[in-house]
Structure 1
Amino acid sequence: MTEAGKELDVFIVAGEESGDQLGAHLMDALVAMHEGGARFRGLGGSRMEARGVVPQFPMAEITLLGLTSIVAHLPRVLRRLRETVAAIAAAPPDVLVLIDSQGFNARVARSVRKLLPNLPIILYVSPSVWAWRPGRAQRLKGAVDHILALLPFEPEVHRKLGGPPCTYVGHPISERLVELRPGPAEIARRNASPPQVLVLPGSRKLEITRLSDLFGQVIARTEAAAGPFDWVLPAVVRHRRLIEREVSGWPVKPRMVTTDDEKFAAFRSARAALACSGTVTLELAVAGVPQVGAYRTGWLEAQIARRLITAETAILANLVIGRKVVPEFLQEFATVEGLTNALLAVIANGPARQVQLNGFAEIDAIMDFDGKSPSRKAAEIVLAVLAERRSRA
């Protein structure tokens, strides 16, 4: 470890909104836990910037979704990759923490390892080796010292695949349980009329544009079949204008909310949800909201995915529970009729709804929500890896 009382120099890279949140909480924990405090350099979003990170370039420049998007912006991404590696090599930190953004950060790790073989490198968020391209686990073994996993089954997956040491530190959702769990009045609202139903078309631009028309038709069909409903759409602030344009053509207009407080209040009161596959499916499950999941990607990405993906489900809540309790509709199977029928089934009292509620009741034990906060566990491992590396130097 660094000398007692000496400030820790951390280079930290996050390329997604979720990574920015993880990075901010980790920064807070490192400052609190390291005797000399810590200073930070690297790349992140508004939360990490508020804690002292001055980004070399906007985080959005490496936030890409889909093969066609990556190909179109490849020269820029490669330039930013070289700039990031050069900044690390020019002034080596005490430790390098790479958060999510797997394609970008795995390349950063391999490049930095060649230049600075003794620098401790931590990867925060495991790549989805359990879903596709399992060979990535073994390739990461020489590039990173430790992986901090958000999902409880990931350490065992890396062990079997020959990956780096991996520890389950917990999911950041565990730090928002109070915001997600309903109180008595909110439970009563879930059973009141008109039922409140959430519409969640995604947090990324391409997700929103690909699912918007479909979701608009589904809520119109659901409203016609069993309405009225109180439709609520929690919108990502940075995409609010895009979402407003997309929703303007919907036959049934949902109420739009944009703040975290409004979003979680809606989660606590909602009876059901129509959601884009992603982290939000686990948030909904923790909040006890039965849901229907959907996802659409581009044709080329879909063809590649069908050949590479090995996971039996794309719904995060299903992966954590270990079986399919949330119905999912992917690509051409994401139809208006199929989604409408599934949504009506989970809104009504009946077997489809109860199966999900029974599954969601298992999540607390599976994810160890009564333990330490994920950010504190992550900080402990960062400091331990640093100490071990220093002892071997």
Structure 2
Amino acid sequence: MPAPANGRVARKIFLIATEESGDRLGAHLMKVLRQRLGDAVTFEGVGGLAMAREGLKSLFPIEELSIIGFSAVIKQLPKVLRLIGQTVAAVVRARPDMLVIIDSPDFTHRVARRVRSRDPSIPIVDYVSPSVWAWRPGRARAMRAYIDHVLALLPFEPKEYQRLRGPPCSYVGHPLTEQLALLRPNAEEQQRRNGTPPVLLVLPGSRRGEIRYHMAVFGEALDHLHAQGKEFELILPTMPHLLEGVREGVQSWKVAPRIVVGEQEKRAAFRIAAAALAKSGTVTLELALAQVPMVTAYRTGGLEAFIVRRALTVTSVILANLVIGENVVPEFLQENCTAEKLADALGEVLSDSPMRRRQVEAFARIDGIMSTGNQPASVRAADVVLGMLRKSRRTA
């Protein structure tokens, strides 16, 4: 690689992100690194549309890995293994100054292990920790063999890596904390949030498989809630690629929701919502930051449920609960995810109940818990990457 015009040593960074959320993280990291290094940095790797806008030409479309559930992975295992091999070969051939893997540990960690085996001189950073604090804690210690540093999105994760004897870990902040103005209401929106009938959000998931598992039971719960005499305005935010499945799922609902499509419409719905029924996941943290009380649920296939249930080491799978340090958000998992139980909990969270008040009080503390000062997550992540580049054994 020719030296850049400013005389600085050129750096090549290989990034791998196979989901939309990771793609956004990768794009922000690329943008900050280019701001810091200018033409002294180049990027290769795997990513989506956001990283493409920052100049990355992806090795393959990330849609090829839009797989959910253990059974789905098994069915597509030959393709997954082929893409892992293709990615490892590309990394080793590129000989980058750093490999940054972003989330999607089932794919990215397999790549990282093979890269470390074939070329131990490539530093490897893991952006977004796998849930070692929730299940399979032994992964943390195993990661020391092939991960040099973990960039954590959740404030409790560095202590967990110390406790579990994992690789060095730095809390860089969650990108959601940079979007508070988009999540919280202005005066007019607050009036609607406090108004009647209350706006109830329904969030069945961000993947097709999740929607299949949740739509029927969510619809039944809302029917029960309506039959109990509760009034509410129902809004279901979704994304364009999920719209067909959502429309098909609500056909059996007796209470019809207003479906809104796209990130902007979703944020607008969050700002006026009084409560939410949500599939567990990152959206629970998003709702907590938006200060929307919620009821959460999760259903999945029998094989995945069997494995996860026996491996869990935490008392809650709800991110909002884990960050706050209290189980303030009710969760209904697998056989406990019934229409009757969801409806009863929603009735509480839609009224001035102790459950609702406890959530509101807890969510008011979350800004302080997740604070990173005035630095965005992408800037803190870039600081760690740049510090490692300066110390790298490949570029010393």
Shorter-chain-normalised TM-score: which range? Answer: over 0.9
CA contact (8 A) 1:197 1:273 kept: yes
Render the CA deviation track for 1:39-71: whole Å, top value 9, x for unaligned: 221111111112222222221222322110111
Counterpart in the other structure of 1:16 = 19
Aligned equivalent of 1:213: 216
Q: Does 1:356 align with 2:362?
A: no
CA-to-aligned-CA distance 1:13-44 (integer Å, 9 cap, x gap): 00111111111111111111225353221111
Q: Give the Cα separation in 2 of the matches to 1:347 and 1:228.
A: 10
Q: Which residue of 2 aligns with 1:338?
A: 341
The answer on 1:311 being equivalent to 2:333 is no
Does residue 288 in structure 1 map to residue 252 in structure 2?
no
CA apart distance, 1:263: 0.7
Mapped to 1, the partners of 2:40 and 2:269 lie a distance apart of 38
- Kindly indicate whether the alpha-carbon contact (under 8 Å) linking 1:5 and 1:36 is maintained by their aligned counterparts in 2: no
Matched, 1:118 2:121: yes
TM-score norm. by structure 1 comes to 0.96
Aligned residue number for residue 80 of structure 2: 77
Deviation of 1:310 after TM superposition, in Å, equals 0.6
Distance 1:369 1:10 in 2: 25
1:177 equivalenced with 2:184 (yes/no): no
Opposite residue 163 of structure 1, the aligned amino acid is G
1:277 partner letter: S
1:390 offset after TM fit, Å? 3.8
TM-score by length of 2: 0.96
Matched, 1:160 2:154: no
Which residue is equivalent to 1:275?
Answer: 278
Decide which of 72, 92, 96 is 1:93's aligned counterpart.
96
**Structure 1 Cα separation of the partners of residues 250 and 99 of structure 2:** 42
Deviations 1:53-105 (CA, angstroms, capped at 9, x unpaired) = 22222212223221101111111101000000001111211211100010111
Task: Output the CA distance in 1 between the equivalents of 2:128 and 2:394.
Answer: 26
Partner AA of 1:208 in structure 2: I
In structure 1, how many angstroms separate the alpha carbons of the residues matched to 2:100 and 2:394? 19
Q: Given residue 307 of structure 2, which amino acid in structure 1 is its aligned partner?
A: I
Report the RMSD for the aligned CA atoms in angstroms.
Answer: 1.5
Per-residue deviation, 1:227: 3.7
Q: Is the 8 A contact 1:292 1:327 kept in 2?
A: yes
Q: Is 2:24–2:50's contact at 8 Å kept on the other side of the alignment?
A: yes
Could you tell me which residue of structure 2 aligns to residue 195 of structure 1?
198
Match of 1:38 in 2: 41
| Among 372, 380, 387, the residue aligned to 1:384 | 387
Aligned residues of 1:201 and 1:211 also touching (Cα < 8 A): yes
Question: In structure 1, what residue type is equivalent to 2:389?
Answer: L
Aligned match of 1:233: 236
Residue 105 of structure 1 pairs with residue 108 of structure 2: yes
Aligned residue number for residue 265 of structure 1: 268
Distance, in Å, in 2 between the alignment partners of 1:106 and 1:260 is 29
Question: Which residue of the partner structure matches residue 48 of structure 1?
Answer: 51
Q: Which one-letter code corresponds to 2:167 in the other structure?
A: P
Match in the other structure for 1:148:
151
Q: Which of the residues 115, 138, 143 maps onto 2:141?
A: 138
Equivalent residue of 1:234, what SS?
strand
Separation (CA, whole Å) in 2 of partners of 1:43 and 1:243: 29
Distance 1:337 1:280, change over 3 A: same
Alpha-carbon distance, 1:392 to partner: 7.9
Between the aligned partners of 1:226 and 1:269, the Cα distance in structure 2 is 22
Residue of structure 2 in register with 1:375 after alignment: 378
C-alpha contact (below 8 Å) 2:152/2:172 kept by paired residues:
yes
Inter-partner Cα distance in structure 2 for 1:127 and 1:21? 17
Deviates further, 365-374 or 351-360: 365-374
SS in 2 for 1:36: helix
Give the secondary-structure state (helix, strand or coil) at the position aligned to 2:56: coil
Deviation at residue 326 of structure 1 after TM alignment: 0.4
SS in 1 for 2:39: coil
CA distance in 2, matches of 1:51, 1:178: 25
Q: Secondary structure at the match of 1:11?
A: strand
Instruction: Say if 1:235 and 1:256, in contact at 8 Å, map to a contact too.
Output: yes
Find the residue that maps to 2:392 and give its secondary structure. Answer: helix
1:315-339: CA deviation from partner (whole Å, max 9, x where unpaired)? 1100000010000000000011100
Residues 88 and 252 of structure 1, relative CA distance in 2, 3 Å threshold: same
Write out per-residue CA displacement over residues 89-130 of structure 1, whole angstroms, 9 at most, x where no aligned residue: 112112111000101111111111122211111100001000
Separation of aligned partners in 2, 1:334 and 1:88: 43
Contact map agreement 1:30 1:38 (CA 8 A) in 2:
yes
Instruction: For residue 29 of structure 1, give the secondary structure of its aligned residue in structure 2.
Output: helix
Please, which runs of 5 or more residues in structure 1 have no aligned partner?
A: none
Distance 2:198 2:27 in 1: 36
Distance in 2, Cα, partners of 1:369 & 1:349 = 33
Q: Distance in 1 between matches of 2:186 and 2:216?
A: 34
Which stretch shows the higher mean deviation, 250-259 or 59-68? 59-68
